Amino acid sequence: MHYYKRLKIFKSKRCTFDPHSMSAWSYNWWEFVACIDGKVVFNNASYSMQTGIQQRKVRELLNCLGVKYRTVYIKSGLQSLSKEGERLKYEITELNAAINKPRSQKRANKWRVARIKFLNKEIENLKILSRKKRTEFKGKLDFSKLPEPRKISEQQKALRAENRARREQHKKDLNGLKQANNQATANRAVFKLVQGGAM
């Protein structure tokens, strides 16, 4: 991730991380790092493979900056803790319904009961977390340990320019094919074929 000095944030194509407020967002809507009650909270749950990659990068940055954090597992994201509570309650309802089925197995029910206990504890933890206020990060950041940005060689620049030109040409070719197809469709509409010959 690249650090923008003027904006004071780390940013990649689909991820932003503000080290001063300690908030990280994936696709600008799913929060996975936040500062709650003065402590940094890192959400280990992810909703896509790309988000998992982003989380790994931000975790590396936190370690480089010397920031200690607490991990949680919230599938709905840190931006909607109430939704996560609802999701867990629904899962408990489903598990209870499975236990009450006439032919449910004892071994499966033992696991379900243990899962319900775990989910109830998670709901309590969520309630405590949601009561706490979002705060600014007051810890010290050590930017000296950040890795230097990679320098792009002239050969890589030339290769990127070549790939860019190839993509642009491909777009032009596709547009040309679309126009030709539209023209052919228009011609068929104007000159309709008449079945049978003249008498």
What does the pLDDT look like over 11-54, one tens digit per residue?
A: 988 899 998 889 999 998 899 999 988 889 999 988 889 889 99
- Quick check: 140 pLDDT over 50? yes
H or E stretch at 56: helix 49-65
List Cα–Cα distances, 2 to 12, 40, 128, in angstroms: 6, 21, 35
* Contact (CB, 8 A) for 64 and 145: yes
pLDDT band for position 189 (50/70/90)? Answer: low
Strands 23-26 and 30-36: antiparallel
* Contact (CB, 8 A) for 77 and 23: no
* Contact (CB, 8 A) for 12 and 2: yes
What does R_g of the chain's alpha carbons equal in angstroms?
Answer: 27
H or E stretch at 58: helix 49-65
The mean of the pLDDT values for the chain is: 85
Residue 18's region, left for phi above 0, alpha for psi from -120 to 50, else beta, is beta
Write out the two tokens for 189. 């509409």
Question: Could you report the per-residue pLDDT of 59-107, keeping only the tens digit for each?
Answer: 999 988 888 999 988 888 888 888 888 889 999 999 999 999 988 888 9
Q: What is the pLDDT of residue 192?
A: 58
b or e along 121-136 (b: 16 or more beta carbons within 10 Å of the residue's beta carbon)?
A: ebeeebeebeeeeeee
* Contact (CB, 8 A) for 38 and 80: no
Instruction: Give domain limits for the chain.
Output: 2-145
pLDDT, mean of residues 169-188? 83
H or E stretch at 92: helix 81-99
- Report H helices in 100-190: 106-131, 154-190
pTM of the model as a whole:
0.66
In the chain, what is the straight-line distance between the N-terminal and C-terminal CA atoms, in Å?
77
Q: What is the pLDDT of residue 187?
A: 72
Amino acid at 119: L
Amino acid at 36: I
Strands (E) located in 19-111: 23-26, 30-36, 39-43, 70-72
Angle formed at CA 40 by CA 118 and CA 31, multiple of 5 degrees: 75
